[in-house]
Amino acid sequence: MQSINLSSRTLGVNFSSTGEAHIVLWAPLLEHAAIHLTKSNTMYPLVKDGFGYWELTTTELQPGDTYQFVLNDGKHLPDPTSLSQPETVHSVSEAVDLSDYDWHDQHWQNLPLADYIFYELHVGTFTPEGTFAALEEKLDHLISLGVTAIELMPIAQFPGKRNWGYDGVYPFAVQHSYGGVRGLQHLVDRCHDKGLAVILDVVYNHMGPDGNYFGQYGPYFTDKYSTPWGDGLNFDDEHCDGVRQFFIENVLMWFRDFHIDGLRLDAVHAIRDFSPYHILQEIKQHVDALSEQTGRTHYLIVEMDLNDTRYIKPMEQGGYAMDAQWSDEFHHALRVAAGEERMGYYEEMNGMNHLAKAFRDAYVYTGQYSFRRHKKFGVHTDQIPGEKFVVFSQNHDHVGNRMMGERTSQLVSFEMLKLLAGTVLCSPYLPLLFMGEEWAEENPFLYFVDHTDPKLSALVREGRRKEFAYFHSGDGEAPDPTIEETFQQSKLQWDLLEKEHHQTLFRYYQALIALRKAHPALKNLDRSQMEVVADEDRDLLIIRRWHEKQDILILLNFSKQPQAVPVPEAKLAWHKRWDSADVRWNGPLGAPEVILPDSGLTIQPESILLYIHE
């Protein structure tokens, strides 16, 4: 039986310091297995142990060579742990020596999680070229913006050249059209040199359909559980040990061999595992062991819609010990406060009261009855630090899952854009921006795929017409996700930064991020040092945050009218530090620079004001 090695990859094709290729294939139900080397057109049998692992050590396979495995019936298939698919997801795999890269980031230390300001991006649409190398040329833009971490949407090999990444079928392979293994390693190296952390989005709840040969190798799936994508991955049924090792080794590879700083685990609520020791706990245990061995810190951040703190609580409290989670309900409450129609997952959000609840608790539903779910939903988040939650006003899902993929800039006013940014960046949580929002990108971010199977493309096309249609009834047909034009429409327009309106918003984001970093009462994420009052009738939110001797007053007006607000008591006068309605941000009218305690103040429509005294 194979044991997990913290120091190097065990599964697949790996090379020793003497140049030997050690080949390990997990296929417990096969009777015969061999490897076919393309260059020499030769086949070598693999030897099976008692636990379903087939092995061979040879010098005939070298880095850069291509190969396939040959199964019982003589079928030639790619390696399920392939590191590179240079042709298609159906063709040969390429052997890669992961250790053959000269890293220059020995000085790098991961940031404390509380200092993370995420910037989510899709490699294929972030630049005209859609590659890691082109992304490197834009890193100075991100540095000047002030974000501290880039978050890459999934880059595991998917069919074709365009995909969101959630249809990946080779979790160990880096998308070839993006630049492959070396391109990703070089990108991470450059990011660390510039002080940026790198988060990678990974998918451990399902596999894509096109190029998915896992079932022919072994019981990777189980019919015990049904997911939106078919049978669940086998984390607790017969032969599950091999599947668990597969994903644990995948996590370790990204951290050890690519120097990734953290993983965002997609939709972990769809991971079904009733083992005594949940797969997420086992992953965390191995990541902690790797960190102890290397001295590098790595984070595990989960996406889920369960409002269940078990995922982020420590193991000694019965939790899975994930470092943080996305908070969708903060987003939903914020969007409804900004005027989003209450349909779909927005239908149970009531505006200001729920936004105030999200500010206090990250979750909106913490045990009350949900009429949409027809049950009580969620648990309280007491005693859980603010850095355990990631919040946003938009991300790839909530833009791309609109039928027309409209970005927020196409849905709300310029003043509301500034208010949304201020709400997220002044929250007691970890803020996340979605690529292009900092300059009000106007192109949509649409759903797109490049499947090789025409029948599958037709199914995706039809499914897209039906899914989320309740958001946009009467707005025409959904764009065809299978054509090149849909992908091209989703690319960022960097030339917009040269136009005044967009440049103003970029400078606004720059200054707002700098404000968060500079003021302890904003940077500190202790939710116990915060008071939140909602005025639902006037669409106002009044927030006080404090830390040590610094006290900050944050006023949020989501209405379309000026609103008079009382100034809280204080020993000293309040001094203005932020005003989205100021003329320098193309606002209508700035507020007074200094206000006295117990006086009155008028806040402009769709704006955020911030005052401070120390």
Question: Which one from 189, 210, 249, 266 is the annotated catalytic residue?
Answer: 266
Q: Is 397 annotated as a binding residue?
A: yes
Q: Is 52 annotated as a binding residue?
A: no
Residue 79 is among the residues annotated as catalytic for this protein: no
330 annotated binding-site participant: yes
Q: Is residue 451 marked as binding? A: no
266 as an active site residue: the answer is yes
130 among annotated binding-site residues: no
Q: What is the DSSP string of 332-357?
A: HHHHHHTT----GGGTT--SHHHHHH
Which one-letter DSSP state was computed for residue 483? Answer: S
Q: Which residue has the tokens 């902690």?
A: 288
176 is in an annotated binding site: no
- The C-alpha atoms of residue 522 and residue 527 are separated, in whole angstroms, by 11
- The answer to whether 544 and 553 have CB atoms below 8 angstroms apart is yes
Q: What is the Cα–Cα distance from 351 to 427, expressed in whole angstroms?
A: 16
The torsion angles phi and psi of 72, rounded to 5 degrees, stand at: -40, -55
Count Cα neighbours of 469 within 13 Å in the Cβ-side half-sphere.
13
Q: Is 401 labelled a binding residue?
A: yes
In three-state secondary structure terms, 324 is strand
- Check whether 266 is labelled as a binding-site residue: yes
**Which residues does residue 563 pair with via DSSP β-bridges, in sequence order?**
603
Q: How far apart are CA 497 and CA 502, in angstroms?
A: 6
Is 139 known as a binding-site position? no
Is 167 one of the annotated binding-site residues?
no
Q: Is 399 annotated as a binding residue?
A: yes
Interstrand relation of 607-613 and 550-557 (parallel, antiparallel or unpaired): antiparallel
The reply to whether 502 sits in an annotated binding site is: no
Among all chains, which residue has been given the structure tokens 């599958």?
A: 456
CA torsion through residues 71, 75, 80, 84, sign: positive
Residues facing 541 on adjacent strands? 534, 556
Strand 93-94 to strand 21-26: parallel, antiparallel, or no bridges (unpaired)?
unpaired
Q: Of 249, 303, 361, 579, which residue is the catalytic one?
A: 303
| Residue 495, annotated as binding a ligand | no
CB-count burial class (<10 Å; 0-12, 13-18, 19+) for 77? middle
Residue 265 labelled as part of a binding site: yes
Q: Is 329 annotated as a binding residue?
A: yes
Binding residues for substrate: 264-269, 328-332, 396-401
Active site residues: 266, 303
Binding residues: 264-269, 328-332, 396-401
